[in-house]
Amino acid sequence: MKLPAFFKAREMVTVMGIVVFGAVVGLVDPNFLDPNNLARVLNSTVILALLTAGVAVVIMTKNIDVSVGSTMALTAIVGAIMLRDGVPIPIVVVVTLALGALLGAVNGIGVAYGHVPSIVMTLGTLGLYRGASFLITGGYSIESIPSEYKAIAGADLLGLPVLVWLAAAIIIGLGLLLGRTRRGRHVYATGDNAEGARLIGVRVNGIVVGAFALSGTLAASAGLVFLSQIGSVSNQAGVGIEMRAIAAAVIGGVALTGGSGSVYGAGLGAFFITLVTSSMSFLGVPGYWTDAVIGAVLLLALFTDARVRAALEARRIEARYRRNPPPDAIPEAVDTPEGAAR
């Protein structure tokens, strides 16, 4: 692969960032690169990776979803109540995922058919879903999660937690859906040029509603993982995690302008964010600096992304004009006495 093409693959740029950062922290404290510690980091990434994958698909349609943290909390609370009351685990999973899809679809309908800006719509549901979580719990944690459900988080396969493999399978499957199916191409077309997509027959409103519903479903799956890993849930679960999900998507190469990026890059961005937060203790940095560090990383990623995209666009325009120069750029033949004589 040629070097320019290599750096156009944004996922590989994120991988390079992960490798370089991990190496630097490993030089400070070699224990950071211990396989057991890296496995713990991967396990800690699962919730954020699922949320980021859903947020990334919404961003690809040139929208934003800041309600995923509240959606995760509300669906986890409903799932916890059912588990506590003895509802079979398969039914709990199906109902929780369906609730997440419904909550996400509410956002999508408001954006697509109500013409409410996505940031406004999802800010509204962020507060609405968080308030509903408080009303259901009364401000108390829901515990007494069955041990067989909590045991899922402790199960390993080939040296890694089962939940890591499950999250990887979901992200890979979603990536294949977006990259190799007609519906996936419609997602990118909607984000790139919604009006143009309509002209070629894309059901733009349906794509937007579906993207938000998918985001809600993945937020609910993150809520189910949260219940298994933590063993309890309160109305404060997931507060602020939506900002980390958006940061991870951008770091992974998903453009806020829509129409580009991949869930693979989003998953890598989630791993990078978790790697950074996990390294704080190894570097001796107080935990309260975490959000500041993530904010700085996000700003750096946004600045770099803007510069790279501007450079690529300039090169694209230059190449297009080199192939097809405008008429006024082509020198006209000048009649000379010699030319006239010939």
Q: Which of 129, 144, 131 is nearest to 80 (CA)?
A: 144
Phi and psi (nearest 5°) for 114?
-90, -10
> Are 69 and 238 a contacting pair, CB within 8 Å?
yes
pTM, to two decimals: 0.85
Q: Compute the distance between CA of residue 259 and CA of residue 189 in angstroms, rounded to an integer.
A: 6
pLDDT of residue 267: 92
Of residues 48 and 332, more confidence is placed in 48
How distant is the alpha carbon of residue 195 from its chain centre?
A: 25
Supply 240's token pair: 């602020």
Count other Cβ atoms within 10 Å, centred on residue 4: 9
pLDDT digits (tens, 9 = 90+) for 173-197: 999 999 888 888 999 888 888 888 8
Helices and strands counted in the chain (H then E): 15, 2
Token code pair at residue 247: 């940061």
pLDDT in tens, 65-76: 999 999 999 999
Q: Which DSSP category does 114 fall into?
A: S
Q: Does the pLDDT of residue 97 top 80, yes or no? A: yes
- Decide: helix, strand or coil at residue 308: helix
d(CA 193, CA 200): 11
φ, ψ dihedrals at 29, nearest 5°:
-145, 105
Q: List the chain domain ranges.
A: 48-283
The three-class DSSP label of residue 213 is: helix
